[in-house]
């Protein structure tokens, strides 16, 4: 399986001419009978060796973390030690120097990045607990939130350093997630999160961050409308992060997560899902549809149950949603064209192209 980035690197190395790479892309697209721009490519596996290396890396990182927990300072002899996270982060960085920088292996690079940022977050968090004192943090949610915010800021800084060195596409999303955790924790430290009003404020704030994340992802997407550079991969992971931050607060504020859905609420959920589907088609990203899937399944199941189809409510729901998604997937390109062509030019120029001439774009 060849990716656009593989062809870009082959051109940069002189193994292929730009014309040959363009011709190869055109051949693959014509053989698939669908434009490659609508396939939402992102690099995950370069071969089975990615899986082999990933399994070995997980085993090694787990053992390093366990050793760090055993050797490091402990909070009253229980719980992870800050040394555990530091060792995991250091080990992940060292492994990335070979498997990411030299071998360019996709899946191991993603796992090592997550281990690095997660190790830094853990080390910073438990360092804060040690400095503040565990006894002082008991029943002190504001203090815990401040520590989480500081740890999120430090983890975001680590993600920035990792991006500067390795340029793994998921790194931007990992850093954005750390910053989001910092912002939500700072807000939680100043409100009563146990009250209904406080919970709604947190949900609304998370929704606001999710919308900001979506716009940030669209900025990356709009810089690569033909989706042939690494910027498209960065946007993919940002959309994957933004989608649940948008979808969950909306349905939670509507009361869908309370366990009961009225007929009116169920219809609103379905209409919202249709709106998300139109948005997903326009931006050519399926993350919004996947993130909202659980909510619309629950809403439709409740509707079927209230209309008397108790025994078959789950089967009917799965039948309707599964058939609709498969039909949408089969005619994704045609549906996109119908929607995008009806949008104003000022908005359309920021969206991925529906039809494009295959051209070579430099890796970013």
pLDDT tens digits for range 214-267: 999 999 988 888 777 888 889 999 998 998 899 888 888 887 767 666 777 777
**Which residues make Cβ contacts (< 8 Å) with residue 275, sequence separation at least 6?**
none
Average of per-residue pLDDT values in the chain: 82
- Tokens 């919308």 — which residue? 211
Which contiguous run of DSSP H or E holds residue 28?
helix 18-32
Alpha helices in 106-195 (DSSP H): 106-132, 134-137, 141-166, 170-188
Q: How far apart are CA 74 and CA 58, in angstroms?
A: 23
Give the Cα-Cα-Cα angle 253, 254, 260 (nearest 5 degrees): 120
R_g (Cα) of the chain, nearest Å: 23
Q: What is the mean pLDDT of residues 184-196?
A: 84
Cα distances (Å, whole numbers) of residue 333 to 273, 339, 348: 19, 10, 15
No. of helices (H) and no. of strands (E), the chain = 16, 0
Question: pTM of the prediction?
Answer: 0.80
**Which residues make Cβ contacts (< 8 Å) with residue 103, sequence separation at least 6?**
none
Which of 157, 64, 59, 48 is CA-nearest to residue 106?
A: 48
Lowest-pLDDT range, 132-141, 193-202, 285-294, 349-358?
349-358
Asked whether residue 25 carries a pLDDT value surpassing 80, the answer given is no
Structure tokens at 147: 């520590």
Cα(first)–Cα(last) distance of the chain, in Å?
A: 21
Q: What is the mean pLDDT of residues 339-346?
A: 87
Instruction: Compare 327 and 120 and report the one with higher pLDDT.
Output: 120
Instruction: Compare 2 and 206 and report the one with higher pLDDT.
Output: 206
pLDDT for 55 equals 95
**Which residues make Cβ contacts (< 8 Å) with residue 245, sequence separation at least 6?**
180, 206, 207, 209, 210, 213
Q: How far apart are CA 175 and CA 181, in angstroms?
A: 10
Structure tokens at 237: 């992971």
Residue 352: DSSP 8-state:
P
Q: Identify the bridge partners of residue 78 per DSSP, sorted by sequence position.
A: 75
């Amino acid at each position: 399986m060849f990716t656009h980035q593989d062809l870009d690197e082959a051109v940069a190395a002189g193994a292929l001419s730009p014309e040959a790479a363009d011709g190869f892309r055109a051949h693959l697209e014509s053989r698939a009978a669908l434009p490659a721009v609508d396939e939402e490519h992102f690099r995950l596996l370069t071969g089975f060796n990615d899986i082999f290396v990933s399994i070995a890396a997980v085993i090694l990182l787990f053992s390093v973390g366990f050793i760090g927990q055993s050797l490091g300072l402990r909070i009253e002899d229980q719980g992870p030690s800050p040394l555990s996270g530091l060792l995991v982060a250091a080990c992940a960085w060292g492994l990335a120097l070979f498997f990411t920088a030299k071998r360019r292996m996709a899946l191991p690079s993603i796992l090592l990045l997550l281990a690095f940022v997660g190790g830094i977050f853990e080390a910073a968090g438990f360092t804060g607990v040690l400095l503040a004192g565990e006894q002082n943090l008991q029943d002190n949610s504001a203090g815990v939130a401040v520590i989480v915010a500081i740890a999120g800021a430090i983890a975001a800084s680590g993600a920035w350093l990792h991006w500067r060195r390795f340029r793994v596409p998921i790194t931007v999303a990992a850093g954005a997630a750390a910053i989001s955790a910092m912002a939500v924790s700072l807000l939680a430290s100043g409100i009563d999160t146990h009250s209904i009003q406080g919970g709604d404020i947190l949900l609304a704030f998370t929704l606001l961050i999710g919308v900001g994340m979506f716009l940030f992802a669209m900025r990356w997407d709009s810089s690569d409308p033909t989706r042939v550079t690494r910027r498209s991969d960065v946007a993919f992971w940002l959309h994957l992060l933004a989608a649940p931050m948008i979808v969950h607060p909306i349905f939670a504020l509507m009361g869908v997560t309370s366990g009961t859905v009225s007929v009116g609420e169920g219809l609103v959920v379905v209409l919202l899902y249709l709106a998300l589907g139109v948005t997903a088609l326009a931006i050519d990203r399926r993350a919004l549809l996947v993130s909202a899937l659980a909510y619309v399944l629950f809403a439709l199941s409740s509707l079927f149950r209230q209309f008397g189809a108790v025994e078959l409510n789950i089967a009917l729901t799965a039948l309707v949603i599964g058939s609709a998604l498969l039909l949408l997937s089969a005619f994704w390109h045609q549906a996109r064209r119908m929607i995008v062509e009806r949008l104003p030019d000022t908005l359309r120029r920021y969206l991925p192209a529906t039809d494009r001439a295959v051209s070579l774009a430099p890796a970013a």
